[in-house]
Amino acid sequence: MLDDFILYQKTYDFTLWFFPIINSFPQKQRFVLGQQIENELVELIKEISIANAAADKRLVLQKMAVRIDLLRMLIRLAKDLKFLGIKHYAVAAEKLNEIGKLYAGWTKRFS
């Protein structure tokens, strides 16, 4: 079951944690930068589900790597633009690094 899959669970929990933070972005940026972050998080969850079910996981896993890097960049941009406080950024970076490590461990099994 997908809920037992640690990468899925950590990504899902990170998404639940980050969505309310986006509500604190300036209104205009909630619908620009915030929406992009939300979309990337949801797409990452979807790709984990797809990869988990796929016979050949390599293509989906490559997309996931790009999405994780995009999230790092977008979240850093939010911090640099001061839409995201340093404490929230530190926690987000830590959680995203953990997701990245879990992802790397998963990909090693299929390369």
Q: Is the pTM higher than 0.85?
A: yes
Spell out the per-residue pLDDT of the chain, length 111, in tens.
565 689 999 999 999 999 999 999 999 888 899 999 999 999 999 999 999 898 888 888 999 999 999 999 999 999 999 999 999 999 999 999 999 999 999 888 876
Number of structural domains in the chain: 1
* Rounded CA separation 64/70 (Å): 10
- Give the domain CATH number at 74: 1.20.1440.60
* Domain assignment of residue 60, given as a range: 2-108
Q: Which of 27, 62, 25 is nearest to 47 (CA)?
A: 62
